[in-house]
Structure 1
Amino acid sequence: MSQAQDSRNILFPEPLMFEDVAVSFSNGEWQSLTYAQRHLYKDVMLENYGNMASLGFPLPKPPLISQLEQGAEPCTEDTQDWEFPSCSYPGE
């Protein structure tokens, strides 16, 4: 085990997941955000994922990241099947 891997095991005894550092919103919460807040959210989620990947954490790319990279927004009627964030919709 390399020194970097050993230090990660000390700092994070359990595997760190993207969901551990990500923020999710309900559909209603997402709709109440301003354009600037939505843009900031996208930037922060992409940066969080990039930071984790650069540290060597073995994590698959979440569907959220793929969609954000393509310019899509979470929590819209077209994204009900996203695994993360867990959007809630009326009648569910």
Structure 2
Amino acid sequence: MENKEDAENSVTYEDVHIDFIEDEWILLNPSQKSLYKVVILETYRNLTALGYSWKDHNFEEHCQNARKHGR
């Protein structure tokens, strides 16, 4: 069971996720877009390895939207 201090120090997907709107995404240069992809994928893998539950998140839809906008 997680104690109060652990819960307060927990990191969630919402804490680290950044969802650019299309106008913002266009302003990023290719290296920034690449870094975003690497960081989000690493975050996903790390949270999954820690047992994070994705049932309340549509990560697949997020990835599809990212591909649609050239992310």
TM-score interval for Structure 1 and Structure 2 normalised by the shorter chain: 0.5 to 0.7
Say yes or no: does 1:20 pair with 2:15. Answer: yes
> So what's the TM-score if we normalise by structure 1?
0.54
Higher relative contact order (CA closer than 8 Å, sequence separation 6+): 2
* Matching residue within 25, 29, 36 for 1:34: 29
Larger Rg: 1
Structure 1 unmatched runs, 5+: 1-5, 79-92
Q: Once superposed, which parts of structure 1, at least 4 consecutive aligned residues long, lie more than 2 Å away?
A: 6-10, 15-20
Counterpart Cα distance in 2 of 1:56 and 1:11? 15
Structure 2 unmatched runs, 5+: none
* Identity over aligned pairs, percent: 29
1:64 corresponds in structure 2 to: 62
Q: What do you get for the CA RMSD once the two structures are aligned?
A: 3.0
Aligned residues: 66
